Every structure is written in structure tokens, then in C-alpha cells.
Structure 1
């Protein structure tokens, strides 16, 4: 059990010697999070479908003075998840932090008159089942090490109400509640939390963002700008670091204080 001791400011964010897996870590929020954890001293494993992008991210991470590893991984394939965890443990000796960032789905395109059950099932496989399975695989290593933090990427859609989002939004809502329950299963050594980004400037958002949509989003956002990947990475660091050692089962929304939807 992690006992309370007074820590200095630097110690509260110190991840020196810790080992972190970041799924979907080659680009966007995942890469920003990997870099932020590396700046705090963590060694990083980038698990991503795009191996070349992951290898490029590793070079940026290693430039910060920590060790890094790129692993090609399809989170929909259980064999890939098992092999990835085994490879990280073989390389680094343990796992302390898991950022369940990889995911996706058909949000905004899920008209229930045309979407299939397979479409909705894939949302849950990407956003719920894969993260649950990776948590199951990583938690024993975290418990053995005496330090564990699991962080899921959820979404504002998990609490918003919008058309054509039932599968994706439903899967992200499931993540929020799953996190609250897994905190009981894996505690006290392992904490489990989630970060819910608002509208964040990533490649995915660029595909649908127009000046009109952005103006509407900002009308309902007290902090009058869209999010950047680094904004989300800051919350990820908080949950990964010792500063949050008495925080578990929580979902924090990083959204400029407002609500941003596509409709």
C-alpha cells in the first residue's frame, strides 16, 4: 500500500525509473502524453498500429534522456496485447503506468436506421474491451512493483447528448463507469482514472472542423479556444504521477469549462 509521506513539489511529479505504456502513442494526444511522462522521467513504450510513426516518436522521447520502445500493436487483437505487454516487461522489467489512449469508432456517423450491430460492437471493442484487457494484463506487474496508475482516454461524448453518436458515446460512458469499478478491483496498489477531452486540435478533429463549427463550439466554452494535445497530456500526467496518489475511480473532463459538439 502507498503510505502517505510529505513530498516536495518536484517529487510529486517525479516518474524517474517508472515504465509507462501509451497506446495510440505515436501521434496526437498519445504522443503529447508520452512526451510529458518522459519529461517527468518515465521510460516509455509506444504501442501503435503505425510502427513507423511509433519509431519516430521514440526518437523524440529518447532525446529527453529516457529509454523508449516502439511496439506495433492492434488493440483489437488479443495476441497483440499479450505480446506487447510481454515485450515491455522483457525490455524494462516492469510496468507502472498504462495510458489506455488508443480507441475510436463511428461517432457522428451512427445513424441508428443505417448503422449495424457490428458497427456498435466495434465501438465497444475499441474503447472498452481493449482497455479492460490491457488493464488485466498490466495490473499484476504494477502490484508487484508497488506503484500503478491506469488512465483511460474517455470523451465529452460520454456525458453529452447528440444525434448519430449512440454507439461511440455509449462506449465512452461505459469507460467512465468501468474506471470507477476497476478502482475497487485493482486498489490499493493500482489507481484507475480517466481523462475526457473536449474538442481538441488533433488530426481527427481537422477532418470535420469548419470555421462555423468552431465558432459554435467556442460560444459554449468559457476559455475561448479549442484544446491542444498538451492540455490533455497535463491531466494524464496528474493521474500518472505521485501527486494524485489518493485519487482513483475518477473521470476529469478537460474541455475549457464548456461543451463542444458537432451538431
Structure 2
């Protein structure tokens, strides 16, 4: 067997959330290129259809499920949809998430809780629904199929940065959720994650599209450039495929070498107020 054979997912079935663009879209296509059929979900059906065409161009099958993935019932239902369509479920990629940066005093409790819900509760809902179906399609004793869950965190989940309190807290929670879930689900299901650095997606383009800002970000990144969605997709494929079969409870740092944020939001210091 060639070492490259370990990176294949022939006839596996995957669910990818936030699959309409960016990291989710690139990951769905990568898994299909490795041999998997994919259930794609995000809010915008038109974007999903475009990704589905790319999946089908690889010779695999794509199932499009438009949904509001902040709804934990909707995201959990994706697991059963995959099982109903293909008779099995092997790979889950918890990619949906994100939170707009905010100053500390503008980050109220509701905003913090919303960030946690969108980044962590959704991942838990889908994974909890998926695990029984994964165990029901575990293969045979002679040909077992190891199952995997990969969650997309952020380097802000391990590094401090002004303005990222809600987002960074949620992504830190997602990373530790992955470690704890890995302990609960071993050895049947492997659970890992990716600490993502700055990646050129539509979510980043509104700032990195400004030449001066992009130059600042690249200059603050040890590798000297912003990442591509395919960089993260390659990491997910490694974690999801037999190539990563000896990893669980781990977080890969795919961030260009960042030790701190490479984007200064320009939030000022707090000013003391007079009590007179």
C-alpha cells in the first residue's frame, strides 16, 4: 500500500457544515476528491449548488441541505439525512461558526452566549446525533471503518487579541470540547480539530482586500502570506482519513506560524471616567 492510499476515503460518507463557501466548500471538495460522498449544508442554497457541482465533477454524490445552522435541531438532522441517503455515516466536519469582533464593553452576555451557541452548541448537536449512526455503520470485524469528527477552531482560541473576546472564548471552548469528546468517544470515534489562522475567504476579504491591511497581516505572519481555504481542507482530510488514524483529541495549528493576531482592530484603551 502506498502512503498516499492512507489519504483516501473511498465510499465514505461525510457531513460538512458551512459548506457553501470558504473553508467548508474547499473541505467538501477535498473529501470528495478523496472518494467520499458529501452532505452539504449552509444557509444559501445557490452557493451549495455550486459546491455540489464541484463535488459531482469528482465522480462523487453531493446532497444539498439548505438550513439555518444556528438551529441545533436543523444541524442535528443532517446526520440522519446522511444516513437515510447513503446508509452510513463516517465523517463529520463542524465548520459552521464565527463571531464579529466587538469591544469588551459592547460584548454583553447575550452576545457572548450567542457566540458560544453558534460555535460550540451546533458542533455538539451534530456530533451527538451522528455518533449512534456512525456506530451503526462501523463496517465488519474484517474491515472496520474508523469514524472521525473534525471541528474548525481558530488561533484566537489559544491567543489573546483585543476585540476577540466572544469569538476567541467560543473557539477555545470548541477546542477543549474536541479534547473532551475525544476522550468520551474513543476508541470508536476520533475527534480532532484545527486552529485556523488568517485564511482568504469572503469573511476576511472585507479587511484583507485593502492592500495596506493585507500587507500588515502578511508582515505579521511568520510565513509571510495569508492562507488559502485548501490549506485547511488538506488538514481536515489528514485528520479524517486513515492517514490520521493515530490521532484523537488533538488540535492542528494551521496558521502560518502565528503566535498572536496579525490584524490589529485599532480598538483604543479604555478611558478613565470622572466620578465628580
The answer to whether the 8 A contact 1:162-1:261 is kept is no
1:48 offset after TM fit, Å?
A: 0.9
2:40 is paired with a residue of what secondary structure? Answer: strand
Q: 1:117: which partner in 2?
A: 109
Give the gaps of 5 or more residues in structure 2: 139-145, 265-276
Q: 1:40: which partner in 2?
A: 34
Instruction: Tell whether 2:136 aligns with 1:144.
Output: yes
Matches within 5 A, 1:101-112: 101-106=95-100, 108=101, 110-112=102-104
1:136 is paired with a residue of what secondary structure? Answer: helix
The answer to whether the 8 A contact 2:80-2:130 is kept is no
1:16 offset after TM fit, Å?
A: 0.5
Report the Cα distance in structure 1 between the residues aligned to 2:198 and 2:69, rounded to whole angstroms: 24
Instruction: Tell whether 2:126 aligns with 1:134.
Output: yes
Matches within 5 A, 1:165-176: 165-176=164-175
Report the Cα distance in structure 2 between the residues aligned to 1:248 and 1:190, rounded to whole angstroms: 8
Compute the TM-score of the two structures, normalised by the length of structure 2.
0.88
1:99 offset after TM fit, Å?
A: 0.4
| Structure 1 consecutive aligned stretches of length 4 or more whose deviation exceeds 3 Å | none
The answer to whether the 8 A contact 1:149-1:191 is kept is yes
Report the Cα distance in structure 2 between the residues aligned to 1:114 and 1:211, rounded to whole angstroms: 29
Report the Cα distance in structure 2 between the residues aligned to 1:82 and 1:191, rounded to whole angstroms: 19
The number of residue pairs the alignment matches comes to 255
1:24 offset after TM fit, Å?
A: 0.5
2:107 is paired with a residue of what secondary structure? Answer: coil
Q: 1:13 aligns with which of 7, 17, 25?
A: 7
Report the Cα distance in structure 2 between the residues aligned to 1:143 and 1:86, rounded to whole angstroms: 13
RMSD over aligned Cα, in angstroms? 1.4
1:12 offset after TM fit, Å?
A: 0.4
The answer to whether the 8 A contact 2:220-2:262 is kept is no
Q: 1:4: which partner in 2?
A: none
Compute the TM-score of the two structures, normalised by the length of structure 1.
0.93
Matches within 5 A, 1:1-263: 7-106=1-100, 108=101, 110-146=102-138, 147-209=146-208, 210-259=210-259, 260-263=261-264
The answer to whether the 8 A contact 1:73-1:84 is kept is no
The answer to whether the 8 A contact 2:15-2:78 is kept is no
The answer to whether the 8 A contact 2:9-2:31 is kept is yes
Report the Cα distance in structure 1 between the residues aligned to 2:211 and 2:50, rounded to whole angstroms: 32
Moved more, 77-86 or 29-38: 77-86
Report the Cα distance in structure 2 between the residues aligned to 1:81 and 1:167, rounded to whole angstroms: 22
